[in-house]
A and B are shown apart, each in its own frame.
Chain A
């Protein structure tokens, strides 16, 4: 009786797992072994290690690294100061609120802000610097990405800081440690898990989001995500797209292992 009812629950759920979790992964791997004409080949994998794709992978990593680093630099002090405010839950809610707004709309706002006649260029003009090409540059891509990811970095760091016992800071200060030493030796080590979670929540989407690059960076910046989208929807070379996807999954798994296993998704939209 008990066995029977357990199986009843499991049937639809197991069907979902097989159809939408196992099958898609298997299909991605399967398709990576075929070229554009449908012949079985390993050429996609050897192509991936040619300079073109290697350069793309490296630059994708470099941008993701920059985005993560800047997000952390801005988010850590913000999270720390948030824990010191009076109505911290309200402030936190206000920080998180923008992350509920579709990122396409936020990226679109920057089309107006950074445009040739946009408000930023108007300000530069009045300052005497003159109008610059801001949109479709590496700078605008990194800036907009950092803007979008900051809430996702603040949240885990804030949670980690909240868990920390504040008397530890007092103890460290009483024992004569400077503010910097206290931060370096006490606060940061205790919140390193939040930092890892935040980096994970920013780095992986930064490697794979393609809409920000398309809207903000024109076609100047190509990330792994952009390349996958390009191969699947533009050039229709599904084999190569699937190969890049396989590498992206492997890289993602490595990052997850390196930064400790967390089962929660933090972003990607």
Chain B
């Protein structure tokens, strides 16, 4: 009887989970389905067409925006990875516990701050320094908010590494640079990759911060989607979403692949 009861519960629980999944995925598939609608609206599916995809691929302005987004994402995540690794090394090298905690707290300020506040404060900052809003300001902003993420991903790897390795390398006559490039960096490489990857996804995904510091004339994909969506429904956004969705899935698979390669998943806490 106990078995019967538990099997009945099983079904109910599956029903609830399935309902949650349907609700989570339905809007996304709905969006994708209507990207093939020849009717031109997000209701009344009339017939299959690839017209909207053609429109997306023929749109040179959109193509430039996609390029902008990719350039910003790759550049900002590469530079923030370098800065973040240096930051993690710096935090690790600081001897005093209090200084270390203070650095960590300052590091995490940008991670917990709402995007609106990051965006608004960077807007003030760039205006005061006199940086023209556009490519440079967006790049700097993306580097700025990616650095702490890289630090968080790299630091556990550094802490996990035994200091005897470094002592051994030093005893065997390795120079300081050798210790860094031949012992430390190879060891923390999974953390560095995970950090780079997270920085990349944060940069690609960011809307709010970019929206504040982008100015006129320069745009990334998220900002462009926002301004198009505010004007109402256009099925070329659906086509674009479908393409982005496929790209996202490839990225997620890539991220999990990188995580699998590192012996312990370094990003389990921050990944969302």
A215 partner residues in chain B, CB cutoff 8 A = 226, 229-230
Alpha-carbon gap, A205 to B113, bound state (A): 9
Contact of A269 with B206 at beta-carbon distance under 8 Å, contacts A9-B86, A24-B122, A211-B226 already known: yes
Contact of A104 with B201 at beta-carbon distance under 8 Å, contacts A12-B83, A99-B272, A112-B233 already known: no
Indicate if the CB atoms of A265 and B111 lie closer than 8 Å: yes
Interface residues of A (CB under 8 A from B): 1, 5-6, 9-10, 12-14, 16-17, 19-25, 27-28, 31, 74, 77-78, 81-82, 84-85, 91, 93-113, 115, 117-119, 122, 147, 150-152, 155, 204-205, 207-211, 214-215, 225, 228-229, 232-233, 238, 241-242, 245, 248-249, 252, 256, 263-269
A-B contacts besides A82-B17, A108-B31, A111-B232, 9 pairs, CB < 8 Å: A6-B90, A6-B94, A78-B17, A95-B20, A96-B271, A99-B272, A208-B116, A211-B207, A232-B212
Contact of A102 with B222 at beta-carbon distance under 8 Å, contacts A229-B116, A265-B111, A265-B270 already known: yes
Alpha-carbon gap, A232 to B107, bound state (A): 26
Binds A, one of B48-56, B57-65, B187-195, B243-251: B243-251
Contact of A266 with B272 at beta-carbon distance under 8 Å, contacts A9-B89, A101-B248, A112-B233 already known: yes
Alpha-carbon gap, A99 to B24, bound state (A): 9
Task: Tell me which of B41, B86, B110, B225 contacts A21 (CB under 8 A).
Answer: B110
Task: Tell me which of B24, B106, B176 contacts A98 (CB under 8 A).
Answer: B24
Shortest 4 CB-CB contacts between residues of A and residues of B: A112-B42, A24-B121, A208-B114, A13-B87
Indicate if the CB atoms of A233 and B212 lie closer than 8 Å: yes
Indicate if the CB atoms of B114 and A205 lie closer than 8 Å: yes
Total interface residues in chain B, CB < 8 Å: 81
Nearest CB in chain B: distance from A224 CB, A = 8
Interface residues of B (CB under 8 A from A): 13-14, 16-17, 20-21, 23-25, 27-28, 30-31, 34, 41-44, 83, 86-87, 89-91, 93-94, 103-104, 106-125, 128, 144, 147, 152, 176, 201-202, 205-208, 211-212, 222, 225-226, 229-230, 232-233, 237, 241, 244-245, 248-249, 251-252, 256, 269-272
| Interchain Cβ contacts within 8 Å, total number | 239
